[in-house]
Amino acid sequence: MSNNSVQTVSTSSDKLKITLAVIAAVAGVVGFFVLSDQSALRIAALVVGLLVAIAFVWTSEPGQSFLTFGKEAVRETKKVVWPTRKEAGQITAVVFGFVLVMALFLWGTDKILEFVLYDLILGWKK
């Protein structure tokens, strides 16, 4: 088993882009709250700030890596074989049955331990 360390290499331009994206997003949120009396302008400030932030992140290497990750995740979910409605109902019934059996088992164990501890060992009668 190899113990390879993961190294992240980021250029200064990527760091600058991420910093500008954070500043743009924060500016959009601040503009949203500062312009509380002008509803259309405050929504525009928020949307523009978030769009500018997304544009900065999109052009950076971490943004491209995230986009690639998202595409691969969608591709993997398309490979999943989802259960039919009947199978999902059967699995749910099995889970509920198991929960019921466990609840009864734990209740019975609790009552037996209660009897042993309070009645037999301690001698406390209810």
Per-residue pLDDT of the chain (126 residues), as tens digits, is: 556 665 565 678 888 888 999 999 999 999 999 988 888 898 999 999 999 999 998 888 888 888 899 999 999 999 999 899 999 999 999 999 999 999 999 999 999 999 999 888 887 765
User: Is the separation of the CB atoms in 24 and 52 below 8 Å?
Assistant: yes
Residues 76 and 17 in one domain: yes
Residue 107 inside a domain? The answer is: yes
CA-closest candidate to residue 57, choices 9, 12, 22, 29: 22
Residue 55 inside a domain? The answer is: yes
Residue 5 inside a domain? The answer is: no
CA distance 31 to 47: 10
Residues 65 and 32 in one domain: yes
pTM metric for this prediction:
0.51
Residues 100 and 53 in one domain: no
Taking the alpha carbons at both ends of the chain, their separation in whole angstroms is 61
Number of domains composing the chain? 2
User: Is the separation of the CB atoms in 20 and 56 below 8 Å?
Assistant: yes
- At 6 the pLDDT is 58
Residue 1 inside a domain? The answer is: no
CA distance 97 to 36: 53
Torsion of CA 54, 57, 58, 59, to 10 degrees: 130
Residues 68 and 125 in one domain: no
Residue 3 inside a domain? The answer is: no
Residues 75 and 99 in one domain: no
CA distance 9 to 92: 46
Instruction: Note down the domain range covering 110.
Output: 83-126
User: Is the separation of the CB atoms in 18 and 62 below 8 Å?
Assistant: yes
Residues 70 and 93 in one domain: no
